[in-house]
Amino acid sequence: MTQFEIGAKDFLLDGRPFRIVSGAMHYWRVVPEQWANRIAWARYLGLNTIETYVPWNLHEPAPGVVSFAGGLDVRRYLELIAEAGLYAIVRPGPYICAELDFGGLPAWLLRPPMARVRSSDPAFTDRVAVWFSTLFAQLVDLQCTHGGPVLAMQVENEFGAYLPDREYLGWLVTQFRAGGIEVPLLTSDHGAFSRAGSYPGLLATMNFGTHPARAWRALAEVQPTGPRMCMEFWNGWFDHWGEPHHRRAPDEAAAVLDELLASGASVNLYMFCGGTNFGFTNGANTSDWAGGAYQPTITSYDYDAPLSEAGRPTAKFDHYRRILARHVGVPDGAPPPLPASLDERTIPLTATIKLLDVLDQLTEPVLANTPVTMETLGQNFGFVCYRFVAEGPGRSTLRVPGIRDRGQVLVDGLEQGVLDRAAGTTTVELDLPPGVVRVDVLVENQGRVNFGSSLTDPKGILGMITLGGLSVTELVMYPLSLDNLEELDWARADAARADTPGPVLCAGHFEIDEPADTHLALPGWTKGVAWVNGFNLGRYWDLGPQRTLYLPGPLLRAGANQLWVLELHRLTKPEVRFTASADLG
């Protein structure tokens, strides 16, 4: 049993001054078979603590349906941290940002009538209360006061930058305490937002990437006494599709870390190891954050961190270890083992199925007279196909206001244009052949906004569809989570051919002797999603900057393996590559 307290100047561990030297690593962004190795690298770097958020949306995908299994086993993750001799900081939100879809809030909160999230609205707080009671039951005995590794927890996240509701913040504090959370509670904000986001009795911490002295001056205006901590030292950054990959020079970042530690403060490296936005879990930015533009985050969450997405130390790791050796000391001995790498090879894709031909095998259609959002359809992630019939011949303008986020428009299965929220494209000129034709608008949810005042971000089509100025009032909608591709009859698939128009599902098989890490490269492919042995690796897009998808070795098996790829636009060459190194642009 350990006592962790907030002193007048220092953190106190069993009454003695204690400096937190922590690193962020999110358990859901690393496959569980690799948790122990990544934790060992944190200890070797010289960290004494690991920090993690808790993603409510992934743990509770539907109201009352909660999972702590597999990659969501937060208890096991914290136990491994303890077994490595490290402590933990847990940040359960309920809002966490983290560049995660909807900032970690469940998509089902966006079903009409929508709850006012991050507020005292009972439609929101009632659900938070149920979730917290379930979560805290998992965490109570892992607090340091019960012999576990958890030193502290954070209430909400960067709340001062939102629309501060003091009543809500106070209500959250009561939920933590009522749920048996005894350890100190913290808040975190950046800059001047600290004043609005702080709360009496909670230690305010700061988030920044440069100028520690300036940050401490801002913190002192809010909190004159107490230990100083940078809860998020931004030693790298995340990427959006279509922008350059963010890199931060190791020596420059190390110099700021040196200054931060020299000030006597505690620190949490954000990130120590970033990991991956597997599946459709990435978030997006817009409005006050991105100047009005919608910008979805890429699949990789490498973050230019000291430990790479693939669990390998970078130059930044070496710089940091030297600095930590000088300030707090680092372990002696050899470093942990590096993950093994698979030999490079080309994987042929041998079978294809047109996605629009098998909608009824993948989902149940829904009929409506107006478009229905993804959330109203009971779906969290993926695509929705909106289908209707029209009559040609001739040219006609299809108008789809409120596209969220990107829609391929296809007439009798052939693409005639793309609607794009990011580009502001809401119309496509259709060339309709004679007779009755089928029009499909395949809408991709590219990630819900995760930060700022535009946090409420339902997906699908939010307005009325018109064709030639007339409303389309007879729709068939197909919600496509694409988590059941194994149900397709691949035995009846077509042979894969170059220049096959999309959207097309492609399948291939390959054999390996021993599972090991690799990266999936798709040169010549345009945009889509890839799965290995049924696990969704995430999205690819030739827009960049990311050019490869990380494929952790534990997802492979000795012998036969299965690969599926959904190409939205055109299959130019039915093959992919396994490469030893990442290409993040």
Residues catalogued as catalytic: 158, 232
**Owner of token pair 């591709």:** 485
Residue 28 CA to residue 396 CA, distance in Å, equals 46
Helix pair angle (166-178, 122-139), 10° resolution: 30
- Tell me the two tokens of residue 175: 């939920």
3-state secondary structure of 320: helix
b/e burial code for range 133-167 (CB count within 10 A of at least 16 → b): eebbebbbebbbbeebbbbbbbbbbbbbbbebbee
Residue 206 CA to residue 186 CA, distance in Å, equals 10
**Owner of token pair 């969501």:** 72
Query: What is the 8-class DSSP label of residue 423?
Result: T
* β-strand partners of 240: 297
Cβ burial of 121 (10 Å; 0-12, 13-18, 19+) is middle
Residue 230 CA to residue 22 CA, distance in Å, equals 10
DSSP secondary structure string for all residues of 35-80: HHHHHHHHHHHT-SEEEEE--HHHH-SBTTB----GGG-HHHHHHH
**Owner of token pair 């700022």:** 452
3-state secondary structure of 150: strand
Question: What's at 260, amino acid-wise?
Answer: L
Contact status, residue 230 vs residue 193, Cβ threshold 8 Å: no
Residue 301 CA to residue 308 CA, distance in Å, equals 9
Strand ranges inside 95-165, DSSP E? 150-154
3-state secondary structure of 466: strand
Contact status, residue 216 vs residue 7, Cβ threshold 8 Å: no
As a residue count, the chain comes to 585
Residue in 493, 448, 463 with CA at minimum distance from that of residue 386:
463
